[in-house]
Chains A and B, each alone.
Chain A
Amino acid sequence: MLSSFLTFLLLGILISGIYALFAIGLTLLFGVMDIVNVAHGELFTIGGYLAFLGVALLVLHPVLALGGVIVGSLAIGLGVYFLAIRPLHNRLGRRPKAPVYLVLTLGLSILLQNIMLAIAGGNYKIVPSFVLGTSNFFNLVFVSRYRVVVFFTAMAVISALFLFLKYTKTGLSIRAVKDNPAAAQAIGIRVDHVYMITFGLVGILSGISGALLTPIYRVFPTVGALLTIKAFAIVILGGMGNLFGALIGSFVIGISESLAVMFISSDWKDLVAFAIMILILIIRPSGILEGE
């Protein structure tokens, strides 16, 4: 009993790393640009397919493949910005009413999903894991070593992002635009430039999370859609636009989901995030940490 409890707890913690990587991009996009990105899961899926392309089709070294994923998903992020968001800004101004972005990204989501379906087909694609074996904790808990590696990689990327936002000049201007776009523009920050960088960052974050998770989940065109809903639950839990809140929220959702399997059938596991989301909206809509 204790052993299985600890195993589920650890599995929950390990998967939270990926959730965090994915959800932080979503909340960053909302904080900086007011965009609720319904197509976020598709950026994740593209990362998964890029990993499949690199590892399974081109047989690259995993680290090299991850580099390729970063470059590719950066390009996708920038592509989305220039092809979908920029034209909208040019026509309707930089801060159109919120529903516009929702509908736009919904369209983008279905567009990307079906382009992937047309190119790669609906079959599950398997990316072999490059770290084999299991990790043993105190002879009590055994988990696949790959999950441990993934967790630490995700945490490293998140730390790098936080350091980037805190200590670099670009990071500072992103935070300035996030807090007050008008004032940021008044002191000479190029807001369009910041938006572009934000989209690039978000593309990279989602791409890496997709690539890292693929050996565990496999990849198919709609793999990201379910994750989008979980990420929304995480982002609401942490307060929309709050990066640190999203990090905490990821652990709350990841661990509760994992532990829930001990009490309910795993068929219903995916509903846990939704239940938590509704609960938070009823008792504390601004999120557990209060919005920034």
Chain B
Amino acid sequence: MKKRRGKGIFVIATGIVLFIIPLVFPHPYLLDTLILGFMFAILAASWDLLSGYTGQLSFGHAGFLALGAYCAALLTGKLSFSPWLGLLGGGVFTGLIGTMIGIPVLRVRGHYLAIVTLGFSEVIRVTAINWLSLTRGPYGFHEYTTFPGFPADPALAKPYFYYTAFGLLAVCGTVMYFICEHTQVGRAFKSIREDQTLAEALGINTTLYKVLGFSLSCFFAGIAGGFYAYYIRLVSPFVAEAINTVWAVGMVIFGGLGTLIGPIYGAIVLYGIYQAMRFVGVVYNLIAVGAVILIFVTYFPKGIWGVWERVSAE
């Protein structure tokens, strides 16, 4: 019990530090890094909700991120939805698409979800490049407004986006943590991960819960995508590149698979390191991400969060 309280205090303390950063040190580069770090944290947590808890892997989260981003941008740009509604719309639409893919694929046992979502992400990318009338192809779509009331000057708008991202992460993170750790649904997820046959024998409808986990995961990935669209103000097929999936996976593995909080820290730290090391060259950064995944999967399967838990237990 004491251990859990220690973790709670740590999370709250991090929250307070992150909350006051824009007040004491409002450097645009730092804020930008943290804003995108928060966005990736939502994405990584959504990946962990599916893969860490139900044991089903998605290799298409870049595609879902892009789907949410395009949907939000198009809702605002073509149908003049309020960005807040667009954000939600991006999440809901992505969740629905995820459900449609999940039902045929998750019926089957095995690795099929990873393979199919890897392909689906490519479908999204190719569609975004070729459906010129809707997405403007490779140039990207940018004719839409961002959140109302935010200053037009990007430098002045940074703190606004910072608190938006921070709030979104806090809400999404809490909801996901609550679902996974404090509800019947979360328990069903874990039972599928540990032993699907046993879960079935106990009367758990494993297909239903796998699809539910996948839909929820896609919903939150879509929210992250929607925020990305309103922050960057340009959605291009690049968002659907497989590298964004690798980022999400790397952040979860680094932070701690199946802990939900670990991946959030993993995302902020890894993205921070990536931005700090920009001058070294992006190629080497990505080599490092690959190496982090290889080393952590083999030697620290529970990530930094797991290492910390083990150290604090001793």
Contact = CB atoms under 8 A, between A and B. Distances in A.
A270 B119 CA distance: 10
Interface stretch (A149-157, A192-200, A275-283): A275-283
Given A103-B293, A232-B115, A226 B298 contact: no
Contacts of A110: 243, 246, 286, 289-290, 293
A47 to B, nearest CB: 20
Given A98-B111, A103-B297, A107-B250, A278 B51 contact: no
Contact of A285 (B112, B250, B301): B112
Interface string B103-143: 01101101110111011101100100110000000000000
A271 to B, nearest CB: 6
Nearest to B285: A114
Contacts of B108: 281, 285
Interface residues of A, number: 46
A99 interface: yes
Contacts of B287: 111, 114-115, 118
Nearest to A86: B298
Nearest to B290: A111
A88 B298 contact: yes
Contact of B283 (A114, A228, A240, A270): A114
A133 B117 CA distance: 41
B19 interface: no
A102 B47 CA distance: 14
Nearest to A100: B297
Contacts of A226: 122
Contacts of A87: 298-299
Interface residues of B, number: 44
A169 interface: no
A282 B100 CA distance: 12
A281 B59 contact: no
Contact of B294 (A111, A114, A271): A111
Contact of A229 (B112, B118, B299): B118
Contacts of A36: 111, 114-115
B45 interface: no
A170 to B, nearest CB: 27
Contacts of A240: 110
Contacts of A259: none
A79 B293 CA distance: 17
A84 interface: yes
A232 B129 CA distance: 23
Contact of B118 (A103, A232, A267): A232
Interface string A7-18: 000000000000
B260 interface: no
A229 B299 CA distance: 29
Interface in A97-156: 97-100, 102-104, 106-115, 117-118
Contacts of B250: 107
A236 B287 CA distance: 30
B57 interface: yes
Q: Which 3 A-B pairs have the closest CB atoms?
A: A107-B293, A111-B290, A110-B290
16 contacts: A91-B298, A100-B301, A102-B57, A103-B57, A103-B249, A106-B59, A107-B249, A107-B291, A110-B246, A112-B290, A232-B115, A267-B129, A268-B130, A274-B122, A281-B108, A285-B112
Given A84-B298, A267-B130, 16 more contacts: A38-B114, A102-B111, A103-B249, A107-B290, A110-B286, A113-B290, A118-B287, A226-B122, A228-B118, A233-B119, A236-B115, A267-B126, A268-B130, A274-B119, A278-B101, A285-B108
Interface of A: 36, 38, 84, 87-88, 91-92, 97-100, 102-104, 106-115, 117-118, 225-226, 228-229, 232-233, 236, 240, 265, 267-268, 270-271, 273-274, 277-278, 281-282, 285
